[in-house]
Amino acid sequence: MLAADVVKTQGLKGKDLLKLADFTTENIEALILLADDMKKNKENYSDALKGQLLGMIFEKHSTRTRVSFEAAMIQLGGHGMFLSSNDMQLGRGETIEDTGKVLSGYLDGIMIRTHSHSRIEALAEAADIPVINGLTDLYHPCQALADLLTVYETKGGFKGLKMVYVGDGNNVAHSLMVGSVMMGMDFTLTAPAGYEASSEMAALAQEISEQTGAKLTFTEDPLEAVKEADFIYTDVWTSMGQEEESEKRLQAFAPYQVNEEMLALANPGCKFMHCLPAHRGEEVSAEVMDGEASVVFQQAENRLHAQKAVLYSVMNK
């Protein structure tokens, strides 16, 4: 069975992707297989979304999300429309629900990068077309799918592997945690007190891990956490909207820098991952970021392929 046919059998057509837990483990595996096939056989999908339109609403700045989604639609034969909230009536007080109803009459899908997760839930409830989460304060599912694709390419599977996230328990950490345990991969999150993953997300991941047999661990000790790691992942210590906390965060996270000493504690062949943008000398040393263990730019490219798989699966008519 072709990867594209696998996805069709999972019933994703017309569905929203607001968080990874909206899909089953089989759905996620099928998307990864499809993304892998799309990356290797780009020409086979050049007309997959011919004539279809994706509206891309941005309420937060972006490089990878905007370029990868727009490129994905072009490569699939469709078109992506950049919609800045500052240039829409959203910026003048139109409700997200009204926006969703209006755009449903013009487009075949919506991708939104926004703040509150409740905002995207309201949009999806009002819209009659698939809504894809390009990032909210709680989740970053498209990033996690690209991460899982990178793991698959690098190791050939998921079972028996250990993913360690070092740093702020943010939206990236939440989706990576959920995605990892969904695929049966052990997951450890190490963060200083006060910066852990939200209790709601931790409980969700724990529930999933009990079903898949993955081991889920939380610790404040980064050096203990990375022992036997197959992947070490980090993100910036200060995300958008947290600039006023920057100095406080730099102090709290100083022991959590991913450097050569930390990498040496992991399994031989351990790979370093980062969702970008990166601040060399803060959350990661330049030696690790630009070293042989880094698969960071492979990850970044895989945003394109993972999102093509999502777009194909939910929008293909």
b/e code 171-195 from CB counts within 10 Å (16+ = b)? bbbbbbbbbbbbbbbbbbbbbbeeb
Q: Is 44 annotated as a binding residue?
A: no
65 is in an annotated binding site: yes
Reference 27, options 13, 39, 15, 10; nearest CA is 10
Q: Which candidate in 235, 257, 270, 274 is catalytic?
A: 235
| CA distances, 106 to each of 47, 97, 111 (Å) | 20, 15, 14
113 is catalytic: yes
Q: Which helix (H) or strand (E) element contains residue 135?
A: strand 131-135
303 is catalytic: yes
313 labeled part of a ligand binding site: no
Tell me: is residue 79 an annotated ligand-binding position: no
Residues 6+ positions from 133 with CB-CB distance below 8 Å: 17, 18, 19, 111, 112, 120, 139, 140, 141, 142
Does residue 201 have a known ligand-binding role? Answer: no
Is residue 37 part of an annotated ligand binding site? Answer: no
Q: Are 81 and 107 in contact (CB under 8 A)?
A: yes
* 242 in catalytic set: no
Active-site choice (174, 274, 303, 305): 303
239 is in an annotated binding site: yes
Is residue 66 annotated as involved in ligand binding? Answer: no
Residue 255 labeled ligand binder = no
Establish whether 230 is an annotated binding residue.
no
Residue 174 designated active-site: no
Query: Among 36, 113, 168, 270, which one carries the catalytic annotation?
Result: 113
Report cis status (omega within 30 of 0) of the bond before 277.
yes
Which residue is catalytic, options 108, 137, 147, 275?
Answer: 275
Q: Name the catalytic one among 140, 249, 274, 305.
A: 140
- Known catalytic residue at 251: no
Report how far apart, in Å, the C-alpha atoms of 279 and of each of 18, 26, 290 are.
Answer: 28, 35, 12
143 is in an annotated binding site: yes
Q: Does residue 257 have an active-site annotation? A: no
Q: Is 62 annotated as a binding residue?
A: yes
Count of beta carbons in the 10 Å neighbourhood of residue 83: 20
24 is in an annotated binding site: no
Residues 6 or more apart in contact with residue 90 via CB below 8 angstroms: 57, 59, 96, 99
Task: Tell me how far apart the alpha carbons of residues 187 and 205 are, in angstroms, rounded to a whole number.
Answer: 10
Q: Is 280 among the annotated ligand-binding positions? A: no
- Known binding residues are 62-65, 89, 113, 140-143, 171, 235, 239-240, 275-276, 303
- Known binding residues for L-ornithine are 171, 235, 239-240
Which residues are known to be catalytic?
A: 113, 140, 143, 235, 275, 303
